[in-house]
Amino acid sequence: MQGVGFRPFVHRLAAELGLAGWVNNSSQGVFIEAEGPRASLEQFLLRLRTEKPPRSFIQSMESWWLDAAGYAGFEIRPSETGGGKTAIIMPDLATCPECLHEIFDPQNRRHLYPFTNCTHCGPRFSIMLSLPYDRANTSMKRFAMCPQCGQEYRDPENRRFHAQPNACPKCGPHLELWDAGGAVLAARHEALLQAVKTVREGKILALKGIGGFQLLVDARNDEAVRRLRERKQREEKPFAVMYPSLDAVRADCRVADADARLLASPEAPIVLLKRRAALAPAVAPGNPNLGVMLAYSPLHHLLMFELKFPVVATSGNLSDEPICIDEREALQRLRNIADVFLVHDRPIVRHLDDSVARVVLGREQVLRRARGYAPLPVRLTAGRPATALDTASPVLAVGGHLKNTVALAIGPQVFVSQHIGDLETVQSYEAFLGVINDFERLYDAEPRWIAHDGHPDYLSTQFARSLLAHKAGPRGVSVQHHIAHVLACAAENELAPPLLGVSWDGTGHGLDGTVWGGEFFLVTATACRRVAHLRQFRLPGGAQAVKEPRRAMLGMIYEVFGESALAASDAPPMKSFAAADLPALAGMLRSGFNSPLTSSAGRLFDAVAAFLGLRQIVRFEGQAAMELEFALDGIETDETYSFEMECQEQTDGESMLVVDWRPIVRGILADVKGKLPVGLISAKFHNALAEVIVAVARRAGQPQVALSGGCFQNRYLTERVDARLEREGFRPYWPQRIPPNDGGIALGQIVATLMGAR
C-alpha cells in the first residue's frame, strides 16, 4: 500500500476518534496499535475498511486486543527495515467486490468465469509452488496469458497488475463435470449448471474448491444429508453450511455486527452462529449452533447464485482423513461418497480446509486456522524472553496429536501451519510430513531445534525423535502439553511474565506420567511451574474412557463414594452398561489396572454429562461436554456448588494446591434427587468450575491470568470465568488468532523452546 496515503489516513482517523498509538510500514504490511475506549476502537476497525483511501486496498486484516500501553498521542513511526527479510506469504483471499461485479456483468469478458481474480483477491497460498510469488512459481504457470490478460498484468494502473493467477475464459482454467468413473459429462458453464441440477436432485457433489475438495448437498434435504453422513462415515459431528447471502443467514441464525463482519471478511471463515430455524435435522444433530459461511470464490458465488438455497459444504474426505486436493485422487478416495465431481484444471498445491471462527466476548476467535489465515505469522514481542535462540536458529515445532498443526519460527516470526488434522490415519500422517517438508522448503529453513509434545506415543513425537536420532542434527525439546497451551495464549496476547496459566482440556501427558488436563501454572520469564491441579480420578479402560463418558463417570463416582456406590447407583449410565461389565470395571478401578489417573477437566465434564443422562458414548471428540453446555439453554443464574482446596507439600519443598471437586459431585447428586432441571444443574456445575479458577487465581496472586486448552471452546465457561476474574480484579486473557484447542500446541512449543522452559 506504498504511496497511497494509507498511513496519513490511519493517523487522521485515529485523531478523529481520539485514539493514541502508532502506525508503521514493514515488509509484512502495515502494523497499527491503537489505544482508547472500546467503542472507539470498534469504530476504528470498521472505518479502516470503509473509509480507506481510494487507491488503497486491504487484502487481509487480522486484529487482536491487547492491554493498553499508555501512549500519549498517535504517531506515524518510521518504516521497519531490519529483521523483515522473511517473506510473508499471503493467504487465499475471498473474491473482492469488483471481481464479483465482473462475473455477473453480461458485458464483461469475465462474465460467469469461475476463476476471476485480481491483486485484491483470489488464491495465493493454495497455488504457490515456491518463493518469490511469481506466476512461474505458481500452479498457474501452465496457463499462458492471452494478449488481453497479459496487458492487464503489465499495466501498473490496472487492478490486475502482477496478479499472478490472472486468467480469463480464453486463456485460464476451466470446469468439467465428471461422473464417479471420471467420464466427462459437461464442460465450462454447462458443467456448473448440471452440477447445480444434481444438487437440486438431492445428490452429493464433490467440488474442487480453493484449498481442496468439498462435498456439497442440499442442506434442506434431510435424506440427502443423511446419505452424506453414512457415506462419509461421519455420524453426528456437525456439518458446515454455505449460504447464498448474508440475508439468508440472518433468516436462519442470530447475526451480530461482529459476526457479519467476519462472515464477509476476505478470510471468509466458517462462523459459528446461534441458529433460529432448523435446516435438515441431520446437518447438526442436537446442536443449537450452526457453522455458516458465505461464498468466497467466484466458483462458489456462481454455484450459490444458481442454487439460491443453503448447502452443506464439508471437507472432501472420509472421516479422519485429510482433505483431497487432486481430481484423480478424489475419484479414488471419494468415489463411494460423491455422485458427481465438478473439477477444474488449476492444480491445488497444498490442502487448506475452511477455517472456523466465532465471536466470543466481542472478539474474533479462530478455532481452526487454515484458508484465509495460514500462513500469516504470529510475531513474538513483549512476552518473548530475550534469548539468542530467536535470532540464531530456526525452530520447528511438530505440535500434538489431535487437530495437529506444525510451526516454524524464524527470528521473532512464528509461521503456524494450516490445520492438518488428527494424526490417526496413514493419510493424515503423510499430510503432516508433507506440511513440514513444505514449510522448510518455502522458508528455506533448516531447523536447529525441534520441539515436540511430551507424550512418547504421539506420532508427531516419534517423528521428532527420529529426526533427533541423527548425531549432527538438530537439538530436541520436549514440551509438556498444557504448558504449551498456556504459552501459546500468553505469546499471542503479548503478555510479559509473571502470570497464572490455566490449562484445561481433555488429555495431555503429564510430567509425572499421569494424564493431565485441569492444570494451573505459574509462568515466569524462565520457567513454568505447576502450582495447582484438579483432584485426580481413575479412568477405567484409559483411551476407551475418552470415547465413553460413562466410564469417566464410573471413575468419578468411585472417587467420591467408593466402590459400594457403583453397585447401588441407579444413575442413567449404570443402566447403559451390560450388567456383566460392571464388576470388571469396578475391579479395574480398585486395582488401577488399565485405569490411569487423570486431573482432566474435560473428563470431568464428560463424567457429569454422563451422570445427568445426556450422553454415554460420544461420536466425536468433546461431544458430551458440548451437550452439557447446550443443556444450559440460556439459563442465567449465579447458583453454584462448593468445593475444597488442599495444599500439599511436594518432595521439592514447593507446595501444590489440589482442587477437591468431590463436594461438587455430591451437590449434583442431591440436585438430581431433588429433580432440579438438568440445565440448572449444568449451570451450577459451570459456575462452580469458574469459582475454582477464581479461587486458585486468588491464591496465586498474579493479576494476569491466561486461559487456554480445549475446555475454553466452551462459550459459557469462557464468558463466566472472564466475568468472574474481572470482577475480582484479575486480567483474564484467552486465545484469539490461534485456536485454544490443540491447534495451538505448536505455537506454545516454539515459545517454550525460546524461553528454555521444558
Q: Which residues bind Zn ion (CB under 5 A)?
A: 96, 99, 118, 120-121, 146, 149, 168, 170-171
| Comparison of 4 and 146: residue with beta carbon closer to Zn ion | 146
Residue 216's H or E segment, with its range, is strand 213-218
742 binds Fe ion (CB under 5 A): yes
Q: From Zn ion, Fe ion, none, which one binds at residue 121 (CB under 5 to 8 Å depending on kind)?
A: Zn ion
Q: Report in angstroms how near the CB of residue 485 gets to Fe ion at its nearest.
A: 6
Stretch that binds Fe ion, among 267-275, 425-433, 596-604, 742-750 (CB under 5 A): 742-750
| Comparison of 293 and 624: residue with beta carbon closer to Fe ion | 624
Contact 492, 64 (CB under 8 A): yes
Q: From Fe ion, Zn ion, none, which one binds at residue 96 (CB under 5 to 8 Å depending on kind)?
A: Zn ion
Chain centre to alpha carbon of residue 227: 27
The helix/strand/coil state of 34 is strand
Q: Which residues contact 276 (CB under 8 A, 6 or more apart)?
A: 251, 252, 253, 254
Q: From Fe ion, Zn ion, none, which one binds at residue 742 (CB under 5 to 8 Å depending on kind)?
A: Fe ion
CA distances from residue 141 to 134, 145, 171, 212, 735 in whole angstroms, order as listed: 9, 9, 12, 19, 39
- The residue with cell 540464531 is 392
Q: From Zn ion, Fe ion, none, which one binds at residue 505 (CB under 5 to 8 Å depending on kind)?
A: Fe ion
| Comparison of 606 and 742: residue with beta carbon closer to Fe ion | 742
| Comparison of 99 and 271: residue with beta carbon closer to Zn ion | 99
| Comparison of 120 and 275: residue with beta carbon closer to Zn ion | 120
Q: Report in angstroms how near the CB of residue 109 gets to Zn ion at its nearest.
A: 8
Stretch that binds Fe ion, among 148-156, 303-311, 711-719, 737-745 (CB under 5 A): 737-745
Stretch that binds Fe ion, among 115-123, 155-163, 422-430, 501-509 (CB under 5 A): 501-509
Q: Residue count of the chain, please give it.
A: 758
505 binds Fe ion (CB under 5 A): yes
Query: What is the distance between the alpha carbons of residues 272 and 290, in angstroms, rounded to a whole number?
Result: 6
Beta strands (DSSP E) in 50-96 are 74-76
CA distance from start to end of the chain: 42
Query: What is the distance between the alpha carbons of residues 254 and 567, in angstroms, rounded to a whole number?
Result: 46
Q: From Fe ion, Zn ion, none, which one binds at residue 499 (CB under 5 to 8 Å depending on kind)?
A: none
Contacts 24+ apart (CB under 8 A), 672-675: 672/571, 672/611, 672/612
621 binds Fe ion (CB under 5 A): no
| Comparison of 346 and 368: residue with beta carbon closer to Fe ion | 368
218 binds Fe ion (CB under 5 A): no
Neighbours of 460 (CB within 10 A): 25
Q: Report in angstroms how near the CB of residue 96 gets to Zn ion at its nearest.
A: 3
Q: Report in angstroms how near the CB of residue 749 gets to Zn ion at its nearest.
A: 37
Q: Report in angstroms how near the CB of residue 54 gets to Zn ion at its nearest.
A: 16
Q: Report in angstroms how near the CB of residue 587 gets to Fe ion at its nearest.
A: 30
DSSP 193: H
Stretch that binds Fe ion, among 493-501, 598-606, 699-707, 736-744 (CB under 5 A): 736-744
State phi, psi for 681 to the nearest 5 degrees. -60, -45
Q: From Fe ion, Zn ion, none, which one binds at residue 707 (CB under 5 to 8 Å depending on kind)?
A: none
Q: Report in angstroms how near the CB of residue 721 gets to Fe ion at its nearest.
A: 17
Q: Report in angstroms how near the CB of residue 569 gets to Fe ion at its nearest.
A: 31
Contacts 24+ apart (CB under 8 A), 725-731: 725/693, 725/694, 725/697, 728/694, 728/697, 728/698, 729/703, 730/694, 730/697, 730/702, 730/703, 730/704, 730/705, 731/67, 731/703, 731/704, 731/705
Residue with the shortest CB distance to Fe ion: 505
Q: What angle do CA 148, 125, 118 make, to 5 degrees?
A: 25
Q: Which of 431, 213, 217 is nearest to 327 (CA)?
A: 213
Q: Report in angstroms how near the CB of residue 368 gets to Zn ion at its nearest.
A: 25
Q: Report in angstroms how near the CB of residue 195 gets to Zn ion at its nearest.
A: 23
Query: What is the distance between the alpha carbons of residues 726 and 179, in angstroms, rounded to a whole number?
Result: 58
Q: From Zn ion, Fe ion, none, which one binds at residue 335 (CB under 5 to 8 Å depending on kind)?
A: none
Q: From Fe ion, Zn ion, none, which one binds at residue 197 (CB under 5 to 8 Å depending on kind)?
A: none
| Comparison of 152 and 742: residue with beta carbon closer to Fe ion | 742
Query: What is the distance between the alpha carbons of residues 261 and 271, in angstroms, rounded to a whole number?
Result: 10
| Comparison of 122 and 454: residue with beta carbon closer to Fe ion | 454
92 binds Fe ion (CB under 5 A): no
What are 160's three cell numbers? 490486475
| Comparison of 96 and 409: residue with beta carbon closer to Zn ion | 96
Residues at the contact surface with Fe ion, assessed by CB under 5 A: 505, 742
